[in-house]
Structure 1
């Protein structure tokens, strides 16, 4: 770790025979720490930097925070034996209100009333040509539960964020890309203390691929060792052609048609999940591409479109219904798990009876 300069002020600092034996061997009335030019080496692959940091009990501020890979995406692959994300995560401004810390029994604890993150930008890239990382990936509830410290964050908000994710599969010229703009999120009760009985709740809205509106609500109980969770959401006004930048390089498929609106609800744990979906869409078709991704495989395309309902057979409100049922691959992330659930629902909605279960 390195810093260009720092200023530290501590007022009314005290210690004594009783205090010196405690985990925090002193007391104080107030403090402030100002740091310029922060650089932290996080290991083999990533670094953390910030232009300036101010830390005080009531108000803390970090400017121009950058968590990033040391190498560009092509060079990173040459240093890896298994898959690992190239990351470029930038936060122009991060504010913290009412920061407190100390020891509770023998455990270090950090408590924060509110964290605000303004206009973050996260770009990730994964080279899928590398071998899979077969380690088990814990869900977020387990990650929080097993932290070596206690945390209690009342509220965390994200405003006007951007996320882009790309995958490189085989030796295609272009990586498949998904991106989300104008992302806003509100997260409450990030708390891993044993006394916490409330659920962690996440509410997000974002614009997907420049036009579709995505809304997502997600909740879980950190202290629940089954890692049970619930997710509900909706997707509106998405021209399926927009997905082709991701579908074509990665899945060798191309879609036509419009998703007017899609609603889904699902419940699960660290092993399996199930739920339901309803969709209103029209003129839907799939094209399966040959290996070179330049020509249409007419046989598979014909068979696929025999199975897929184009959206014309619906209930009186224009919806088709489907079921969600998925077993988790524990070597994949939560977001892969979520995508598998949504994919399960879409396939059942488009290829099943389309009727709502009684």
Structure 2
């Protein structure tokens, strides 16, 4: 009898505890539902089909979630699961601490922010509750950012799966450019597309992310209009470009924010199998705006960079220039291009940047280019050194015949140049070694020749011997500030060629 009484008391206790547990679960679910329902208003909406709650595992699962804020975003997910919720912190109301958050098939649509965003950001209020989620898993998601006033997709991501460690959001982080912190992120993203402007889009077939690297596979910058339509829409001379790359890998990436300034660091950036096609039509008016050299362009970035080394391999660059619609375009091609750069930094202690480029000009003649930039110099000081060897006449004529209206016969055995300068002027030396090299005007194509080209063509290597070497020192070059750095380099090379020819 005594045993039966104890047994009954135990059953009663268990029953009361079960009822209490059920009551707490019902109360908690009702409270959560009430809180979620309170988020609905005239300009925002939150819906779901089912919710399950477990106090023992401190978990909550919500199915078929849909959230929308008018003109801001739309988010849906088949399921959101929280586990390891810190109940005491939640009851106190000052912190939300969760061990795991799993979101299945999140579909996110953001609408581009309006012009008042910057002003609103300055008045960000402190968060009353901080958020710490130790692990977040996003599986089989998609992302789309759209402009509110048109159908243009600013950014589109077909599929992504991400694993985020140690996510934190609080009153301090929301004031930063990146409004949250995290310890690590890994995963993969497939088929990314974004419009850069009215003429170009940027695509990535696959983006792999890990703690030690960011890897872009099969990326491209491609025109959204034909070259003919492009020329009809622009009013000044502008390059028409196509860029494709097989691989771009950023090793040991770091994103650091200090004193409201973002810094991006990396041990190495590796570029493999890049193809870059550039086309320019000279019949359009020149763009007379002043162009900055690369050292200034890097320092003017809205963030700081520090890259220990930059390496490019197995790449290709093609430059096509159309001087006159009635003539064939001039072509420059650089095959098997490789690039090696020392540290590139815009930090106060930045060292000089040394870049070495090797390629086969027109897939035939080896060319070497050494380039040094002083990142701390206010006048964009630089030094360039280069050489090209064994250039056949056909390789020379591919560019100079249609653009300069002259053609070469024979062979350019070697040409060396060294120039040091700044954003205003350069001074250097050049040396040429030739073998039966002659230059002559193409009178049947050219309407007229400038005095320099006529003199160069008539001199045919300065009436020198058919073979020989000529060196010229103290060659002066004045930069046109409305032209790019590479135009500046071309002026130095051309001036060196002309001076050695005249000798």
TM-score, normalised by the number of residues in structure 1: 0.90
Shift of 1:17: 5.6
2:429 maps to 276
2: CA distance, partners of 1:25 / 1:335: 39
How many residues are paired up?
Answer: 345
SS of alignment partner, residue 337 of structure 1: helix
2:191 maps to 37
Gaps of at least 5 residues in structure 1 are 353-358
- Please list the CA deviations of residues 235-291 of structure 1 after superposition, one character each: whole Å capped at 9, or x if unmatched: 111113321121111111111121111111110100100100111112121111226
Q: Is the 8 A contact 2:388 2:415 kept in 1?
A: yes
**Please, which of 327, 331, 342 is the counterpart of residue 482 of structure 2?**
331
Q: Is the 8 A contact 1:286 1:301 kept in 2?
A: no
Matched, 1:48 2:48: no
Q: Which moved more, 1:198-207 or 1:51-60?
A: 51-60
Matched, 1:220 2:373: yes
Structure 1 or 2, whichever has the larger Rg, is 2
SS of alignment partner, residue 161 of structure 2: strand
2: CA distance, partners of 1:338 / 1:76: 27
- Please list the CA deviations of residues 49-98 of structure 1 after superposition, one character each: whole Å capped at 9, or x if unmatched: 01111223302111110012222222211111111111110001111110
Cα 1:19–1:339 change in 2 (3 A) is closer
Shift of 1:102: 2.0
2: CA distance, partners of 1:101 / 1:321: 49
1:265 maps to 418
Taking the TM superposition and a 5 Å limit, the aligned residue runs for 1:71-90 are 71-90=225-244
Matched, 1:351 2:502: yes
Cα 1:107–1:21 change in 2 (3 A) is closer
2: CA distance, partners of 1:220 / 1:142: 10
TM-score, normalised by the number of residues in structure 2: 0.65
2:104 maps to none
Q: Is the 8 A contact 2:415 2:431 kept in 1?
A: yes
Cα 1:33–1:221 change in 2 (3 A) is farther
Q: Is the 8 A contact 1:284 1:311 kept in 2?
A: no
**Please, which of 405, 409, 426 is the counterpart of residue 252 of structure 1?**
405
SS of alignment partner, residue 332 of structure 1: coil
Taking the TM superposition and a 5 Å limit, the aligned residue runs for 1:104-253 are 104-196=258-350, 198-253=351-406
Shift of 1:19: 5.2
Gaps of at least 5 residues in structure 2 are 1-154
Shift of 1:308: 2.8
- Please list the CA deviations of residues 303-340 of structure 1 after superposition, one character each: whole Å capped at 9, or x if unmatched: 833363365288xxx52101321100111111111011
Q: Is the 8 A contact 2:456 2:501 kept in 1?
A: no
1: CA distance, partners of 2:257 / 2:204: 27
SS of alignment partner, residue 167 of structure 2: coil
- Please list the CA deviations of residues 118-146 of structure 1 after superposition, one character each: whole Å capped at 9, or x if unmatched: 11000010111111111111000010011
Q: Which moved more, 1:205-214 or 1:323-332?
A: 323-332
SS of alignment partner, residue 369 of structure 2: strand
2:469 maps to 319
- Please list the CA deviations of residues 172-207 of structure 1 after superposition, one character each: whole Å capped at 9, or x if unmatched: 2411101000001101211111232x1111101000
Q: Is the 8 A contact 2:472 2:500 kept in 1?
A: yes
1:355 maps to none
Where relative contact order (Cα < 8 A, 6+ residues apart) is larger, the structure is 1
Higher helix share: 2
